[in-house]
């Protein structure tokens, strides 16, 4: 690991390159600019590093042509093992499918500042603010949706819908915790998509907003582990309890 004078405000980089000179030069340029850099000499070594690490990369720079695990298959496994943005680096134009699978591409040779410009661009990406999911202006239930449901069916039917949503949210929160233990970011995104869809239909605005953030990958890695103490997960629990409270108040059994 290279972290001389590393800045905590800059993304952590995993650099994968089988060529020692290229790897050391890029690592030196980045560390001298303030980045924390971890290096691996191939795809298999990178995945082993991620599996045993207590950290998680924000950005992966990977050589496009390496012996062994490389290219699109490596990108797929890196996606499963982290939430990092992945950039291919190559001395020739890589296959179109690799460019499509990555978040960006650098053609060798490039000047040293090309690396820092790439990572600055990454740092400037807009990240959806987690706190907005529980903005005080976001209602627990959209009043228009609630009114529409009440106009369509008896109170008992509306109560049954929201009781089902609450029960489903408790189950999906537990499923997220299981996915966290398995470091399965893809499953968390899938669960987020399901929460967004179901809660949006029922007008459960807070939970739907959190589901959207989960689907978009806002639950980040903490070290090499998904963060079970993430404010986003706490917000989901809070939104579920708020919806349960609304159910008990609006539709007493």
Q: What percent of the chain is predicted at pLDDT more than 90? A: 43
13, pLDDT greater than 80: yes
Mean pLDDT, residues 42-51 taken together: 92
Q: What is the pLDDT of residue 243?
A: 93
Confidence of residue 220 (pLDDT cuts 50, 70, 90): low
Nearest by Cα to 62 from 35, 90, 21: 90
Q: CA-to-CA distance for 121 and 115, rounded, in angstroms?
A: 10
Q: What is the pLDDT of residue 22?
A: 87
Q: What is the pLDDT of residue 33?
A: 82
Nearest by Cα to 216 from 98, 97, 83: 83
| Mean pLDDT over the full length of the chain | 83
Q: What is the pLDDT of residue 183?
A: 76
Domains of the chain (ranges; CATH) run: 13-123 (3.40.50.2300), 130-250 (1.20.120.160)
Measured at the alpha carbon of residue 225, what is the angle toward residues 172 and 211, in degrees to the nearest 5? Answer: 30
Q: What is the pLDDT of residue 159?
A: 93
Map residue 108 onto helix, strand or coil.
coil
186, pLDDT greater than 90: no
Q: CA-to-CA distance for 42 and 139, rounded, in angstroms?
A: 49
pLDDT digits (tens, 9 = 90+) for 103-124: 888 887 777 677 777 777 766 5
Instruction: Give the pTM.
Output: 0.51
| Contact assessment for residue 88 and residue 102, using Cβ atoms and an 8 Å cutoff | yes
Q: What is the pLDDT of residue 53?
A: 66
């Amino acid at each position: 690991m290279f972290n001389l004078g590393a800045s905590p405000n800059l993304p952590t980089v995993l650099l994968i390159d089988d060529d020692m000179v290229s790897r050391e030069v890029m690592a030196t340029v980045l560390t001298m600019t303030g980045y924390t850099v971890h290096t691996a000499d191939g795809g298999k070594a990178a995945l082993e590093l991620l599996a045993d690490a207590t950290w998680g990369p924000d950005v992966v720079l990977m050589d496009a042509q390496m012996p062994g695990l490389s290219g699109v298959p490596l990108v797929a496994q890196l996606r499963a093992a982290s939430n990092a943005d992945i950039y291919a680096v190559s001395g020739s134009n890589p296959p179109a499918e690799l460019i499509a699978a990555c978040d960006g591409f650098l053609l060798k040779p490039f000047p040293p500042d090309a690396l820092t410009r790439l990572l600055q661009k990454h740092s400037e990406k807009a990240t959806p603010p987690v706190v907005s999911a529980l903005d005080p202006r976001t209602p627990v239930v959209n009043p228009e949706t609630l009114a529409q449901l009440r106009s369509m069916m008896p109170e008992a039917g509306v109560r049954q819908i929201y009781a089902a949503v609450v029960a489903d949210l408790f189950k999906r929160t537990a499923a997220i915790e299981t996915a966290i233990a398995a470091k399965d970011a893809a499953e968390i995104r899938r669960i987020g998509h399901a929460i967004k869809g179901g809660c949006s239909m029922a007008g459960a605005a807070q939970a739907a907003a959190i589901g959207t953030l989960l689907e978009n990958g806002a639950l980040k890695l903490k070290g090499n582990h998904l963060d079970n103490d993430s404010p986003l997960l706490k917000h989901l629990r809070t939104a579920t309890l708020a919806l349960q409270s609304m159910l008990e108040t609006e539709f007493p059994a």
